[in-house]
């Protein structure tokens, strides 16, 4: 096929920062080793861009949510290092796990029975200690179908790790209470924010996601974590407005004077939602305010303070996640996972 012309938007992934973040989280995990949540295409940043970097940094435990996320990760790491958080819902899922050698996380008594009836084998076990999403209840650990499992990692998941909440200590206590009642090799509780709660929460393995990709769940991470993802796009047209001209859908911006503007090749279809209205792009140190509403494929910016910027030049959306979350009222998780498929990564 004819080669594609160069793109006009890209997601710059700072692989050094990603490797740094994994190492920092691994160090912050103390005696525990850090794994990596790589579900949702590495939180939107791209499995192919991120998983080899995490692997080369030393990560050996990778978590996805869905079975259909396995093949992409499997191209980079061995099957035995991949776990599927949603577990086997059907005989087909169990057969796929067995054929690939990927480890299922068992989340219910029904899944435990399904896994055993289809042949059993190594698995992880999720115990619900209060988030009430997935996982067997603490009462169910003594069920014969659970006792029959070959559990590699006994795990639970914190609901409020990014807050100073009593819930954390309560979940920790419940988790510790079930440990003697089910045979297992290792234990795991903390997500990114959980790592910051201290050594009691680390166990053998931590499971950061957000902080790997530049998220700062609590102040404790502020200095340790570096920004990884930078959305950048080309200016595909510059225009001169006269005083009184309006910009974009519903004409929400009116030019107070004659001014020069640029049309950036990026929009809400790329995950730059309308919540960014009133924000700005950057060209080097120069701030370029967003004018009017964000469109599906375009955003118009004010070039008044950057007369040298021309069509074809690139601009960057400031995407330091804590700041961006504050500005847009989106969560840091949403800001990452919403980034669209048109970005080259």
Ligand X SMILES: *Cc1c(COP(=O)(O)O)cnc(C)c1O
Q: Could you list the residues that contact ligand X (CB under 6 A)?
A: 37, 39, 85, 157, 191-193, 207-210
Phi then psi for residue 33, to 5 deg, are -100, 150
Helices of type H across 179-233: 192-195
Q: What minimum distance in Å lies between the beta carbon of 163 and ligand X?
A: 12
Q: What minimum distance in Å lies between the beta carbon of 311 and ligand X?
A: 39
Q: Where on the phi/psi map is residue 300: left (φ > 0), alpha (ψ -120 to 50), or beta?
A: beta
Q: Is 249 a catalytic residue?
A: yes
Q: What minimum distance in Å lies between the beta carbon of 57 and ligand X?
A: 16
Give 93's Cβ-side CA count (13 Å radius): 22
Q: What minimum distance in Å lies between the beta carbon of 41 and ligand X?
A: 13
User: Is 296 labelled as part of a ligand binding site?
Assistant: yes
Rg over alpha carbons for the chain, rounded to the nearest Å, is: 23
Report CA torsion sign: 174, 176, 182, 186. positive
Tell which residue, 239, 252, 225, has the closest CA to residue 302.
239
Tell which residue, 40, 41, 48, has the closest CA to residue 15.
48
- Nearest-angstrom CA–CA distance, 188 and 206: 6
39 vs 293, beta carbon nearer ligand X: 39
Given 113, 201, 213, 249, which residue is catalytic? 249
- Nearest-angstrom CA–CA distance, 163 and 322: 15
DSSP letter (8 states) at residue 341:
T
Q: What minimum distance in Å lies between the beta carbon of 33 and ligand X?
A: 14
46 vs 262, beta carbon nearer ligand X: 46
37 vs 299, beta carbon nearer ligand X: 37
Q: Is 131 exposed, middle or buried (0-12, 13-18, 19+ CB in 10 A)?
A: middle
91 vs 179, beta carbon nearer ligand X: 179
Q: Is 333 a catalytic residue?
A: no
- Nearest-angstrom CA–CA distance, 61 and 206: 9
210 vs 241, beta carbon nearer ligand X: 210
Closest residue to ligand X, based on beta-carbon distance: 209
- Nearest-angstrom CA–CA distance, 306 and 328: 25
Residue set of the binding site: 133, 296
Residue set of the binding site for substrate: 133, 296
Q: Would you name the residues annotated as active-site residues?
A: 39, 249
């Amino acid at each position: 096929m004819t080669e594609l012309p160069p793109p006009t938007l890209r997601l710059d992934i700072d692989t050094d920062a990603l490797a740094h973040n994994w190492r920092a989280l691994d160090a912050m995990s103390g005696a525990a080793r850090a794994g990596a949540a790589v579900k949702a295409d590495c939180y939107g940043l791209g499995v192919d861009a991120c998983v080899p970097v995490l692997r080369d940094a030393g990560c050996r435990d990778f978590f996805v949510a869905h079975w259909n996320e396995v093949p992409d990760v499997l191209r980079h790491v061995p099957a035995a290092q991949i776990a599927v958080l949603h577990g086997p819902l059907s005989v087909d899922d169990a057969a796929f796990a067995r054929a690939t050698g990927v480890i299922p996380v068992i989340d219910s008594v029904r899944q435990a029975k399904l896994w055993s009836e289809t042949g059993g084998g190594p698995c992880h076990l999720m115990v619900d200690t209060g988030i009430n999403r997935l996982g067997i209840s603490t009462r169910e650990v003594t069920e014969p179908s659970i006792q029959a499992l070959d559990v590699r990692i006994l795990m639970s998941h914190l609901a409020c790790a990014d807050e100073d909440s009593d819930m954390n200590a309560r979940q920790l206590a419940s988790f510790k209470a079930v440990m003697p009642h089910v045979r297992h090799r290792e234990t795991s509780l903390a997500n990114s924010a959980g790592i910051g709660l201290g050594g009691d929460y680390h166990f053998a393995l931590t499971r950061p996601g957000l902080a790997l990709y530049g998220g700062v769940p609590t102040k404790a991470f502020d200095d340790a974590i570096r920004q990884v993802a930078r959305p950048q796009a080309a200016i595909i047209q510059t225009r001169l407005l006269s005083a009184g001209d309006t910009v974009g859908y519903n004409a929400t911006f009116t030019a107070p004077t004659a001014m020069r503007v640029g049309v950036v090749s990026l929009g809400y279809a790329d995950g730059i939602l309308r919540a960014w209205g009133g924000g700005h792009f950057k060209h080097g140190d120069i701030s370029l305010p967003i004018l009017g509403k964000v469109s599906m494929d375009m955003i118009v910016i004010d070039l008044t303070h950057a007369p040298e910027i021309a069509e074809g030049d690139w601009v960057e959306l400031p995407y330091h996640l804590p700041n961006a979350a504050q500005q847009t009222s989106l969560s840091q998780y949403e800001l990452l996972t919403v980034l669209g498929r048109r970005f080259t990564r």
